[in-house]
């Protein structure tokens, strides 16, 4: 991210001179196919302009600050102007609005996706910077909101941004807030598309099951006490058939629980005697769906259909899925994307949004919340011993790791984190909880976190550059070739440090991380 000051000094908003106590940040989308911030800067830098935001984000990493951060803006048409900094995201030139918030592609979609994801990542970095500056918790209620969320809260006008753009690419405000938190705690990725639309916390369809036969049987008996023995007997088939094809059989079982009403078949489009436990072939209301000779074949067909979505690998068993050929292979690698509206590719098993989340909710219940979180019960009043160091969160499960208000389970979750490095000041008497510098607690489970006595220096951070001619070099040292470019004044993300000639320390710029060919002397920067 490069922060460029371009204050709208001619704007009536700026000249009004009103300031605010910053309580939060609101993200907007400009609402027209224009990728350049300059178009809005020139239009809004007039005395008669009726809009004025604090910053405009471009996909290339440039952020134009158009108002002092504590200045009252004209960005949301409501009381949010009195409390929130307003940031606009430019929109791809490759779209065309068809009415209201509805839009369509004018090309093959690649340019649109690239723009949206790049602008998203830049916004993450900007919001992390502002949250640090104003001491804001991005996961706290009402701190980071979209214009549309502001409308629902009654503090902004009736707009659909930014969700009307983000929804096509699997981006959500919930994930935006998590990504900001991760960026604040050590960096959210490497600047590639895969890190921008971070799917590392998503649940892959392909893989080894986490639930056991016993857990699955216990779940279904609890949800449906009258479940037949024939159903209990076929539960192991989900794991064996899944293992053969490399599909998570516990996900297939959770899906069957959803589709059959926990094998009660109340309101289901299929019946037990069809041996169809996933609604296969029910493509519209009133259809009976496919039937299979045995439960094993029905489960095999379901597993194969999941594999069709989740992988491009060949089947290991003979094909019994009658709809295998209709699937765009590998188009749904994650459970979260099984609902067509939730998938950036517009493919999926079910027409309704949230289908994958429903499956994962069942899976979470099957495995058990305590087990999936890696937490012990603990006691809120147990003693805490001093311990100095750091804890790195590396868990990639979709539910993240809970940060709690006390060293115990219960209704005391303050926030959820997915990665990051945190300062440790103590450890609970039972050895199961680290006390963080914030006074909160996190599990000591080694499957979820790693304790370190010292930092490795690998965590990213931001620096401010005030000189106009700071060279960017292809390596860490004055003996390395210049790139021919300068940073210019602004704020930049450093992802790695190194020793080298000509400076006490050199830093690798995030935008050059892939090729590792963009280094600056940190002697000319101020760490933020």
Domain presence at residue 518: yes
Point out the domain boundary residue: 367, 383, 408.
367
370 falls in which pLDDT band (50, 70, 90)?
very low
Domain that holds residue 516: 461-527
Q: Do 320 and 441 share a domain, yes or no?
A: no
Beta bridge partners of 52: 74
Q: What is the pLDDT of residue 420?
A: 73
Both tokens of 498, joined, read 């190194």
> Mind listing the pLDDT tens digit for each residue in 468-515?
889 999 988 888 889 999 998 888 888 888 878 888 888 889 888 878
> Mind listing the pLDDT tens digit for each residue in 271-285?
899 999 998 987 666
Give the C-alpha distances (Å, rounded to integers) separating 18 from 68, 69, 70, 72, 143.
11, 11, 9, 5, 21
Q: Do 161 and 229 share a domain, yes or no?
A: no
Tally of CB atoms within 10 A around 47? 10
Q: Is 502 left (phi over 0), alpha (psi -120 to 50) or beta?
A: left
pLDDT at 317 over 90: yes
Domain presence at residue 26: yes
Instruction: Look at 402 and 136; give whichever has higher pLDDT.
Output: 136
Q: Do 346 and 383 share a domain, yes or no?
A: no
Q: What is the pLDDT of residue 283?
A: 64
**String of DSSP letters for 157-205:** -S--TTHHHHGGGT--HHHHHHHHHHHHTT----SSHHHHTT-TTSPBS
Q: What is the pLDDT of residue 417?
A: 79
Average pLDDT over residues 451-469: 74
pLDDT at 401 over 60: yes
Q: What is the pLDDT of residue 353?
A: 77
Average pLDDT over residues 319-342: 90
Give the torsion sign (CA, 454, 458, 461, 467).
positive
Q: Degrees (nearest 5) of the Cα angle 102, 105, 110?
A: 130
The rounded distance, in Å, linking the Cα atoms of 442 and 423 is 11
454 falls in which pLDDT band (50, 70, 90)?
low
Task: Please state which of the ranges 65-79, 100-114, 222-236, 345-359 shows the lowest mean pLDDT.
Answer: 100-114
Number of domains comprising the chain: 4
Total count of residues recorded for the chain = 528
CB neighbour burial string for 337-348, b if at least 16 within 10 angstroms, e if fewer? bbbbbbbbbeeb
Q: Do 356 and 282 share a domain, yes or no?
A: yes
Q: Which residue has the tokens 């589709």?
A: 259
Non-local (6+) Cβ contacts of 233 within 8 A are: none
Q: What is the pLDDT of residue 391?
A: 85
Q: Do 494 and 437 share a domain, yes or no?
A: no
Q: What is the pLDDT of residue 108?
A: 67
The CATH number for 329's domain is 1.10.530.10
Give the per-residue SS3 of 254-293. Answer: HHHHHHHCCCCCCCCCCCHHHCCCCCCCCCCCCCCCCCCC
Q: What is the pLDDT of residue 397?
A: 58
Q: What is the pLDDT of residue 414?
A: 82
Within a 13 Å sphere around the CA of 71, how many CA atoms are in the beta-carbon half? 23
Q: Do 249 and 361 share a domain, yes or no?
A: yes
Domain presence at residue 315: yes
Q: What is the pLDDT of residue 372?
A: 42
Domain presence at residue 208: no
Q: Do 359 and 238 share a domain, yes or no?
A: yes
Domain presence at residue 167: yes
Largest CA distance in the chain: 77
Q: Do 337 and 421 share a domain, yes or no?
A: no
Report which of 170, 237, 232 is spatially closest to residue 201, judged by C-alpha positions: 170
Percentage of residues of the chain with pLDDT beyond 70: 91
Q: What is the pLDDT of residue 58?
A: 94
Domain presence at residue 207: no
Q: Which residue has the tokens 């895969």?
A: 194
Domain presence at residue 160: yes
Q: Do 309 and 326 share a domain, yes or no?
A: yes
Point out the domain boundary residue: 404, 426, 452.
452
Q: What is the pLDDT of residue 72?
A: 96
19 falls in which pLDDT band (50, 70, 90)?
very high
For residues 193 and 514, the answer to whether their CB atoms sit within 8 Å is no
Give the torsion sign (CA, 367, 370, 372, 376).
negative
Task: Please state which of the ranges 1-10, 112-121, 403-412 shows the lowest mean pLDDT.
Answer: 403-412
For residues 52 and 184, the answer to whether their CB atoms sit within 8 Å is no
pLDDT at 191 over 50: no
- Secondary-structure breakdown of the chain: helix, strand, coil percentages, each rounded to the nearest 5: 30, 25, 45
Instruction: For the chain, give the mean pLDDT.
Output: 86
Q: Do 130 and 263 share a domain, yes or no?
A: no
pTM above threshold 0.85:
no
Instruction: Look at 205 and 193; give whichever has higher pLDDT.
Output: 205
For residues 242 and 209, the answer to whether their CB atoms sit within 8 Å is yes
Q: What is the pLDDT of residue 119?
A: 94
The CATH number for 389's domain is 2.30.30
The CATH number for 164's domain is 3.40.80.10
Q: Do 92 and 174 share a domain, yes or no?
A: yes
Average pLDDT over residues 185-193: 46
Q: What is the pLDDT of residue 395?
A: 65
Domain presence at residue 323: yes
The rounded distance, in Å, linking the Cα atoms of 411 and 436 is 19
Q: Do 217 and 156 share a domain, yes or no?
A: no
The rounded distance, in Å, linking the Cα atoms of 363 and 373 is 13
Q: Which residue has the tokens 């009736």?
A: 158
Task: Please state which of the ranges 123-132, 141-150, 182-191, 226-235 shows the lowest mean pLDDT.
Answer: 182-191
> Mind listing the pLDDT tens digit for each residue in 297-306?
999 999 999 9
53 falls in which pLDDT band (50, 70, 90)?
very high
pLDDT at 23 over 50: yes
> Mind listing the pLDDT tens digit for each residue in 125-159?
999 999 998 999 999 989 999 999 999 999 999 89
Give the C-alpha distances (Å, rounded to integers) separating 504 from 233, 340, 444, 523, 524.
67, 52, 36, 7, 10
pLDDT at 107 over 80: no
Point out the domain boundary residue: 196, 222, 248.
196
Q: Is 18 left (phi over 0), alpha (psi -120 to 50) or beta?
A: beta
pLDDT at 418 over 70: yes
For residues 413 and 403, the answer to whether their CB atoms sit within 8 Å is yes
Highest mean pLDDT among 74-88, 172-186, 352-366: 74-88
Task: Please state which of the ranges 45-59, 415-429, 455-469 shows the lowest mean pLDDT.
Answer: 455-469
pLDDT at 374 over 60: no
Average pLDDT over residues 367-396: 70
Q: How do 55-57 and 84-89 pair as beta strands?
A: parallel
- 322 backbone dihedrals φ, ψ, rounded to 5°: -75, -10
Q: What is the pLDDT of residue 275?
A: 94
């Amino acid at each position: 991210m490069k922060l460029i000051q371009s204050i709208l000094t001619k704007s009536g908003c700026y000249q009004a001179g009103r300031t605010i106590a910053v309580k939060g940040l609101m993200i907007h989308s400009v609402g027209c196919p224009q990728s350049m911030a300059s178009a809005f800067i020139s239009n809004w830098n007039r005395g008669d302009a009726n809009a004025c935001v604090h910053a405009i984000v471009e996909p290339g990493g440039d952020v134009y600050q158009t108002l002092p951060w504590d200045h009252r803006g004209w960005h949301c048409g409501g009381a949010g102007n009195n409390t929130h900094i307003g940031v606009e995201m430019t929109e791809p030139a490759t779209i065309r609005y068809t009415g209201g918030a509805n839009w369509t592609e004018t090309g093959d979609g690649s340019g649109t996706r690239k723009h949206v994801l790049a602008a998203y990542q830049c916004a993450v970095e900007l919001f992390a910077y502002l949250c640090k500056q104003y001491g804001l918790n991005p996961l706290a209620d009402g701190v980071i909101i979209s214009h549309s969320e502001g409308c629902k809260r009654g503090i902004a006008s009736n707009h659909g941004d930014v969700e009307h753009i983000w929804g096509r690419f699997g981006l959500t405000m919930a994930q935006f807030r998590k990504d900001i938190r991760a960026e604040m705690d050590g960096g959210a990725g490497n600047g590639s598309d895969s890190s921008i639309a971070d799917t590392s916390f998503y649940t892959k369809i392909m893989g080894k099951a986490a639930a056991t036969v016993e857990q699955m049987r216990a779940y279904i008996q609890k949800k449906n006490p009258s479940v037949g023995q024939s159903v209990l007997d076929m539960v192991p088939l989900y794991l064996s058939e899944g293992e053969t094809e490399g599909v998570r059989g516990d996900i297939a079982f959770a899906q069957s629980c959803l589709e059959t009403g926990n094998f009660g078949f109340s309101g289901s489009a299929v019946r037990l005697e069809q041996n169809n436990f996933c609604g296969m072939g029910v493509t519209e209301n009133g259809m009976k769906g496919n039937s299979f000779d045995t439960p094993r074949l029905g489960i095999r067909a379901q597993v194969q259909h999941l594999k069709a979505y989740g992988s491009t690998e060949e089947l290991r068993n003979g094909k019994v899925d009658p709809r295998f050929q209709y699937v765009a292979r590998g188009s749904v690698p994650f459970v979260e994307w099984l609902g067509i509206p939730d998938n950036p590719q517009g493919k999926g098993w079910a027409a309704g949004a949230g289908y994958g989340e429903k499956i994962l909710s069942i899976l979470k219940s099957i495995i058990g919340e305590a087990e999936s979180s890696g937490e012990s019960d603990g006691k809120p009043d147990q003693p805490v011993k001093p311990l100095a160091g750091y804890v790195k969160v590396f868990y990639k499960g979709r539910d993240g790791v809970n940060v709690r208000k006390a060293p115990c389970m219960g209704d005391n979750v303050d926030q959820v984190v997915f990665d990051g490095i945190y300062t440790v000041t103590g450890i609970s008497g039972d050895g199961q909880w680290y006390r963080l510098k914030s006074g909160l607690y996190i599990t000591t489970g080694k499957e979820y976190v790693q304790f370190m006595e010292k930092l490795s220096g690998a965590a990213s951070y931001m620096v401010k550059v005030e000189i106009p001619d700071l060279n960017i070099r292809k390596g860490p040292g004055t003996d390395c070739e210049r790139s021919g470019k300068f940073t210019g004044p602004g704020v930049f993300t450093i992802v790695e440090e190194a020793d080298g000639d000509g400076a006490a320390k050199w830093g690798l710029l995030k935008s050059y991380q892939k090729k590792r060919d963009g280094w600056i002397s940190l002697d000319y920067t101020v760490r933020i």
